[in-house]
Amino acid sequence: MSISERIKNIHASQTLAITAQVLKMKAEGKKIISFGAGEPDFDTPGNIQEEAIKAIRSGFTHYTTSSGITELKKAIIEKLARDQNISYDVSEIIISNGAKHCLYNALMALCNPGDEVILPTPCWVSYTEQIKLAQAVPVFVQTDPDNQFRISAEKIEKSITNKTKAVLINTPNNPTGSVYDKKELQKIAQILVKNDIYCISDEIYEKLVYDNTKHFSIASFGEKIKAKVILINGVSKSYAMTGWRIGYAAGPKDIISGMSKFQGHCTSNANSIAQVASVEALIGNQDSIGHMHNEFDKRRSFSCNMPEGAFYAFPDIRELLNAGIIYDGKKVTNSLELTNYILSESEVAVVPGSAFEAEGYLRMSYATSMEDIEEGINRLQKLFN
C-alpha cells in the first residue's frame, strides 16, 4: 500500500467508530440510548436560519475573501469585546470551516517539525492527531481528578523544554466538563509570557458554564499574554450550528496571516451563507442561548461528578474495570471493552476514556433528551446493579 507515513501515523476517531456501531444497531431495530453525541440536540435558532435564507435569496452564494467577510470579522470583534473584554483588529481575525479547522490552521502556522506542544490530558480526540499532522510532537501532561482535571501552571512549567512551541488549553473542557478559574489562568499566562510560549486557547464551549462558574479567556489578561494567544471559538456548540461549519481564530497578526495563507490554498473561504448567518448568531438576539443553557443545566444534574461546563460527564470507571466483568468470553479490563459491553448488554452508547488519552473513564454526553437520559441511566443501573 502506498498510503503516506503521515496518514499511517494517525488514528481513526474512536468516537466515529461508536457512532457507526450505533447506527448499525438502530438500523437493526434496536432502541439505542446514545450518550455519545458531541453536539447540541437543538435546531439552529430561527433568527439565524432566516439570515441564511435571505443570504441565499439575495445571491450571496459566491466565493468570499479567503479569511472571511469583514462583516463577520467585525461581529467577532464586537463579541470578543462584549464577552471577553479583549480588543482585536480586523487583521487579527480569521474565519474557517469550524473550530477544528482553525485549530489545524493554527498548528500548521505555528509548528516546525519536532516542535513540542504541551497537551493536558484528558483531551479532545483531534488535538493529538492534528499536532502529529503538523509534524510536531504532543507532550501529554496528565491532569489531576482531584484538581477537577485542570492543569497547574507548575506542571506546565516542568514540561517546558527548548522545543516547546505552544500549550493547548481547552476551557470549558471536552471531555471532563471542567472550567479554569481566573487565578489559575493568570498563573499559566505568567509562565507562558516568561518562557515565550504560545497558547492555543480552545474556547468553543464558552457559553456552556453553570452555577456561578464564569468563563475567562487567557487572552484577556493584558497585552503581553494576548500577543502569545491564538484564541479559537465558533458557533457550533453555543448556537446549535455544528453543521454550518463556522469557527474563528483571533490572535497576533503574523500568525493569523500565516493561517490565512495556508487556508487560501486548502479550502478557500468558509461557506458564504453560513458566514452571514453567523453574524446574526454572534450579535443578534441571544435569547436562544439562555434556553439551551437552561436545558443542559437541568440535564447535567444526573451526573456523578457535577460538570462545571460543556455538556459532558466523565465518570471514573476504574472500580468497574476491576470487578471481573466478563464480555465475549474475556475479562473487561479497559474503557473500550467496557463501552462495547455496555452497548451490547444495555444498548447504551458511551465513549471510552481512552479516546481522550484517559483510560479508566467514560465520556457521557448529556446533549440528549431528559427522557433518554433517565432511560439510559436506568439501564446502566440495572446492568451494574
Ligand X SMILES: Cc1ncc(COP(=O)(O)O)c(C=O)c1O
| Contacts to ligand X by CB under 6 A | 38, 98-100, 124, 170, 174, 202, 204, 234, 236, 242, 247
Comparison of 321 and 353: residue with beta carbon closer to ligand X: 353
Comparison of 136 and 367: residue with beta carbon closer to ligand X: 367
Comparison of 173 and 346: residue with beta carbon closer to ligand X: 173
- Return the C-alpha cell found at 260: 490565512
Sign, CA dihedral 32-36-42-47, equals negative
Q: Residue 163 CB, nearest distance to ligand X (Å)?
A: 24
- Return the C-alpha cell found at 357: 488519552
Comparison of 217 and 346: residue with beta carbon closer to ligand X: 217
Q: Residue 320 CB, nearest distance to ligand X (Å)?
A: 25
Q: Residue 103 CB, nearest distance to ligand X (Å)?
A: 6
Q: Other CB atoms closer than 10 Å to residue 346's CB: what's the count?
A: 19
Q: Residue 121 CB, nearest distance to ligand X (Å)?
A: 13
Q: Residue 41 CB, nearest distance to ligand X (Å)?
A: 14
What's the CA angle centered on 182, arms 176 and 184, to 5 degrees?
Answer: 70
Comparison of 45 and 98: residue with beta carbon closer to ligand X: 98
Q: Residue 207 CB, nearest distance to ligand X (Å)?
A: 13
Interhelix angle 46-57/272-283, nearest 10 degrees = 140
Q: Residue 276 CB, nearest distance to ligand X (Å)?
A: 17
Q: Residue 385 CB, nearest distance to ligand X (Å)?
A: 33
Cβ contacts of residue 325 below 8 Å, gap of 6+? 331, 332, 338, 341
Comparison of 99 and 274: residue with beta carbon closer to ligand X: 99
Comparison of 247 and 307: residue with beta carbon closer to ligand X: 247
Q: Residue 241 CB, nearest distance to ligand X (Å)?
A: 8
Which residue minimizes CB distance to ligand X? 98
Comparison of 18 and 380: residue with beta carbon closer to ligand X: 18
Comparison of 332 and 351: residue with beta carbon closer to ligand X: 351
Do 247 and 97 meet the contact criterion of CB atoms below 8 Å apart?
A: yes
